[in-house]
Structure 1
Amino acid sequence: MRLVLVTCLFEASSAIDLSSICEDAVPALVPTLNSLLERAHQLFDEGRYSKALDAYENLVVRAQEKMDRSTEVIARSRIAECFVIRQDGDAALDQLQRAKDLLDQQNRTAHLRYRWAYARTVLLTETKEAARAELQDYVRWADDDAQFEALIDGCCLLAESSSGEERIQWLERALQVGQDTQTTARLGRICNDLAASFDGMGRTEEALDLYELALGWHRMMGSTRDQVGACWAIGSVALREEDFPLARTRLEEATALAGDQPECQDLLALALADLGRVHFEAGDVIEARRLVIQSLKHAREVDLSTAWNQAWSRLLSFAESLDIRP
C-alpha cells in the first residue's frame, strides 16, 4: 500500500466535525439554537458527558418549541451516544427511535448524525453478526452518499470488530479514503492502529513506516499524548530491531514531550524504561539504572501494572537485572 502524507491542515477531532457542514445543511437553525448545539458538542468532545447530556436534552426542548425537527434529530442522536457511553443500550435505542420518527433523509447532517449514533448503538445492543451487518450497511450508505467522514468511521468500527488481515484491510481502506478525500482528522490514529496491527503480526518494517506516518499527522493535529505515544511506539519497535540510534532519538523525544503532562505519565514511564535499555545496550549501565529508577517512580504513581501489565512485568525484570529493588 502506498502511503502518502497529505499536507492539509484541518482541525483535528476524533468525532465528526458537524460545525463544518451544519450551516449549509441546516439553514433553519436560528442563532440561539446554533449556539446551544455548538456548546453541547463542545461538552461532548471534552468528555464531559453528563453535562453534554443535559445540554442536548435542553436543546431537544428548545428545538420542539421552534418546531425544528432536524435539530431535534441531531440532539436525540447525540443523547443516544451519551447513553452508549453509559452502556445503556435501551435508552439509546429509545432516543434513536424518536429521532427516526422525525428524520428527513434529505437532510444530510441530521441523517449522518443519526447513522453515526445508530452504528455505535448496535455494537452494544445486537449480536456480533447483526452489528457487523449494520456496520457494513453504514459503510455502503456513506460510500453511496459521499459522506467521507462516516465512511472512514464505518471502516474503523468494522476494524475494531475484526482481527488479522481483515482488520488491516478495513484500516487500509479508511486510510486510503482519508488520503484521497483529504478527510484528515482521524488519519493519525488510523495510521497508529494499522501500525499496531502490523507490529502484532511481526511485520515490523511496515509498522515502523506507519508509526512514523502517524507521528507526522499527530504533530500537525494530534494531542500531546498522541505524539508521545507515537514516539514511544517507534522507539520501542526500533529497540527490538536493534536500530539503537532511531530508538534513542524517538524515546528522548517522547520523554521531552511527556514532561510533566498528567495525561502522559504512563507513556513517560514506558519510554524511560526503553531508553534505559538503549543505554544498557550501549554499555552505559549507570545511565540505564538512572532511567529505570525514574521509570519505576512514574510507573508507581500511575499504577502502570493495571493498564500495562506486560510492560510492568518487563520493567520489573529489567530493574532486577540492574540490581534495582522495585
Structure 2
Amino acid sequence: MSRHSVPGSTPAITAVDLVKTYPGRRGKPPVKALDGLSFGAAAGSVFGLLGPNGAGKSTAVKILSTLSRADSGIAEVAGIDVARHPEKVRASIGFVAQKSVCDPMDTGYENLVLAGRLQGLAGSEAKTRARELLARSALTEAKDRLVKTYSGGMARRLDVAVGLVHRPAVLFLDEPTTGLDPEARADMWDEIESMASAESMTVLLTTHYLDEADRLAAEVAILDGGRILASGSPDELKRELRGDAVIIGVALDADPARARGVLERIPSIWEVSCDARIIRARTDDGAAALPQALAALDAAGVAVASATLARPSLDDVYLRHTGRAYSAADAQEVAA
C-alpha cells in the first residue's frame, strides 16, 4: 500500500458533526472538545489526525473506539454505528494506546497468545497467529524473553502486534512512536507500513511528529477547536503553499519583534510570523529573497543565529491554518 494513495473511496471511518462537551471542573465553564467534527477515512488507507493541545484528537479517538459517547452526531467504524452497536465495533478494531498494555513479566509470545485468546481465537489459532506476528515484527528471536527486557522499539512493535492479533478492519494508533529514539522511530514507521499493507486494513494515526504523518498517511486532517481546519494528502496540502519557506532564527540578544518588522517591509516576502525566536515567512524566489532578508536584518542591527530555505512542509501547512508553528508540546493533549 502506498502511503500517498487511497485504494478506494469507501470510508472505513466516518464522523459527521460530532459534538462532545465536558462539564467544567471546580466552577469552570464546560469545555467543548468537539464542535461539529466531520471527516472520513477511506478503507485500506492510513489517515493522520494532527492538532494542538486540546484540539480534540483524543476525544475523537475515544468516541470512534467506543471508549466515550458523543453528545450528538454520527460515527461509523467499519460500516457499524458506534453508538448503536459498540460491541460490534470493538470486535472490528484494534487499539494501540500510548501506554503499553503488555505484561512485562510475561514473554512476547505469551502476551500475544493471551491477546488472541481474549479476542476469541482458539488455542492453536492463537499460537499460530502469535508466531506469525512475532516473525513479521522481527521479534522471533526475542519471543521467549520477558517483555521487561525489551528495548523501547521492541516493546512498541509488540504493542502493535497485540492490536493486530484478531485481524481488525480498523487499527487505532495513538502516538505510536512517542519516546522512541530516531532509529527506533524509523523502524516503527517501516513496521506500520508493512503491517498495514499485509493486513489490508485502515489505520487511524494520531501523532505529534509531522514528518511521521508525511511519511505514513495517505490523508491527514488538521484539528483545532474540535473542528477540521484542513484535510487532504500531505502533497496536496503542501502544493497549496506556493513558493519557498524562509526560516530565520535570531540571536539571543536580538529582538524577534524587530526582526519580524524588518521582514514584513520586504515586498517579495509575505506571511511573516514569529514563534519565540524563530521568524517564518514565504517567498516566490527563496534564492533571491534570503540574501535580501539577511542584508536587511544586518542593516537594522538584528543579529541572526540561523537561516534556512526550504520547500513547503506540513509544518508550513499547519502554520497557515492555525497561525502557529507545530510542536510536540502542542500535541500532548490534556485528557479530559
TM-score (norm 2): 0.32
The structure in which a higher percent of residues are helix is 1
Between the two structures, name the one with larger relative contact order (CA 8 Å, sep ≥ 6): 2
The structure in which a higher percent of residues are strand is 2
TM-score (norm 1): 0.32
